[in-house]
Amino acid sequence: MQGSAADVPSTPRPATGRLGIITPGLGAVATTFMAGVESVRRGHAQPIGSLTQMATIRLGKRTENRSPLIKEFVPLAELDDIVFGAWDPIADDAYTAAKKAGVLEDRDLEPIKDFLSAIVPMPAVFENKYVTRINGTNVKKGKTKRDLAEQLRQDIRDFKTRNKCDRVVIVWCASTEIYIKPGPKHATLEQFERAMENNDEEIAPSMLYAYAAIMEGVPFCNGAPNLSVDIPALVQLANERGVPISGKDFKTGQTWMKTVIAPGLKARMLGLAGWYSTNILGNRDGEVLDDPASFKTKEESKLSVLHTILQPEIYPDLYKGFSHVVRINYYPPRGDNKEGWDNIDIVGWMGYPMQIKVNFLCRDSILAAPIVLDLALFSDFAQRAGLKGIQEWLSFYYKSPMTAPGLQPEHDLFIQQTKLKNTLRHLMGEEQITHLGLEYYQS
């Protein structure tokens, strides 16, 4: 059974004690996330972009005027109860890594230098073969991939004891690995474990983190497009062990925009001839994605979105054969401040062409950081609510949402948002909101 709400026990367990959030990867996204949470805790910043901290949820009828904050409605861990950890093949502490990432300004980093300097990454499971543009020395050694996974499990246990954590969540914030096709080695747990013992190259480091997390009963969220936890063997393991999992690839800049605009076009039955997207970015993620093998993983993730939203098989007259091109160019002067251009060729009444141009000057890690926080807090909540396996209600946060086998992912941001909120209502014993609203007009 997937993590459906149907098999949920009555009341979610409260969020008592401390929650550890460990990120494989202590780069731009992870350090921006950690620095942001600490700044909010100290009253220096607001958690803008985070649903768990800022969004409300309507309950009951519109006439009831009940719209509490999500965090007051659902028992989520408090920011003050969070402890951070990380793994990274580069040994820089979070302060040094944040300085190098160049996302946050000194005026935001200096006041929390003590806090950031104390976050030192544990040695990573890392192989240059899977992320060719990174070289690091803070790396674990082991005879087999299984040994390495066992070392990660030990790290999780030690982290929990050292920091007196009640619970832990892991969010993958590490580099995008090269493209790996799901195959027989990923099909069942037995095959996966044998492949780990044989050091099979189909088993990427990210899969070892996911395996270690699930074995330790720790929810795992995958912020990158690499398969990681999205393989049948690990989905099976998560279901057996009662662990929530989700992925893939944080939905930030351009794809987020696509999942806002494309549903709008389709809602109005406007056609699409083509969508050309190009980006320049100069951070380390951009450098990693400059490698064609890592870019292919990202491209797969970015391309699927439009097709699924527009459904050309159902609407051939509007969407059959539209051209969709995505480019990412590494351009160092920009640092983390990505610039994306979209040229959208749309088609209207009687076939007349029109164009939409979007020029999005975004800050990648500023958009990703609140997503890391929400995924961690919601996944921890999901576990306390008795959910397990794939958490499709968290699709809202992902470019390539994981789903049950054979199920098309839902990409439309607004359907995803409704699903997320309805799941929270359901878990807390509140009525679903369908927006039918006929009762307001019945005398």
Judged by beta carbon, residue 57 or residue 213, the one nearer ligand NAD is 213
Q: Are 410 and 395 in contact (CB under 8 A)?
A: yes
CB 31, min distance to ligand NAD, A: 8
State residue 425 phi and psi, 5-degree precision: -60, -45
CB 432, min distance to ligand NAD, A: 30
Judged by beta carbon, residue 29 or residue 82, the one nearer ligand NAD is 29
As a whole number of angstroms, the distance between CA 267 and CA 408 comes to 19
167 bridge partner residues: 19
Query: What spatial distance separates the first Cα and last Cα of the chain, rounded to whole Å?
Result: 43
Judged by beta carbon, residue 279 or residue 391, the one nearer ligand NAD is 279
| Per-position DSSP letters for 266-311, written without gaps between them | HHTT-EEEEEEEEEEE-SHHHHHHTSHHHHHHHHHHHHHHHHHHH-
| Residue with smallest beta-carbon separation from ligand NAD | 27
CB 376, min distance to ligand NAD, A: 14
Judged by beta carbon, residue 25 or residue 85, the one nearer ligand NAD is 25
Judged by beta carbon, residue 292 or residue 316, the one nearer ligand NAD is 292
CA-based R_g, the chain, Å:
22
Could you give the dihedral angle defined by the CA atoms of residues 137, 143, 149 and 155, in that order, rounded to the nearest 10 degrees?
A: -60
State residue 169 phi and psi, 5-degree precision: -130, 145
Is residue 233 within a helix (H) or strand (E), and if so which, with residue range? helix 232-241
Judged by beta carbon, residue 322 or residue 378, the one nearer ligand NAD is 378
CB 255, min distance to ligand NAD, A: 8
Helix/strand/coil percentages in the chain, nearest 5: 45, 15, 40
Q: H helices then E strands: how many in the chain?
A: 16, 10
389 bridge partner residues: 244
Select from 412, 375, 370 the least CA-distant residue to 391.
375
Q: Are strands 339-347 and 271-281 parallel, antiparallel or unpaired?
A: antiparallel
Amino acid residing at 36: G
Judged by beta carbon, residue 122 or residue 347, the one nearer ligand NAD is 122
CB 321, min distance to ligand NAD, A: 28
CB 328, min distance to ligand NAD, A: 10
Judged by beta carbon, residue 254 or residue 422, the one nearer ligand NAD is 254
As a whole number of angstroms, the distance between CA 403 and CA 420 comes to 14
CB 12, min distance to ligand NAD, A: 29
CB 97, min distance to ligand NAD, A: 6
353 bridge partner residues: 347
CB 268, min distance to ligand NAD, A: 29
Neighbours of 325 (CB within 10 A): 12
Select from 384, 289, 378, 293 the least CA-distant residue to 329.
289
CB 369, min distance to ligand NAD, A: 8
Judged by beta carbon, residue 59 or residue 173, the one nearer ligand NAD is 173
Judged by beta carbon, residue 214 or residue 427, the one nearer ligand NAD is 214
Q: Which residues bind ligand NAD (CB under 6 A)?
A: 24-30, 87-90, 101, 124-126, 131, 134, 136, 173-176, 205, 223-224, 249-250, 252-253, 283-285, 288, 364-365, 367-368
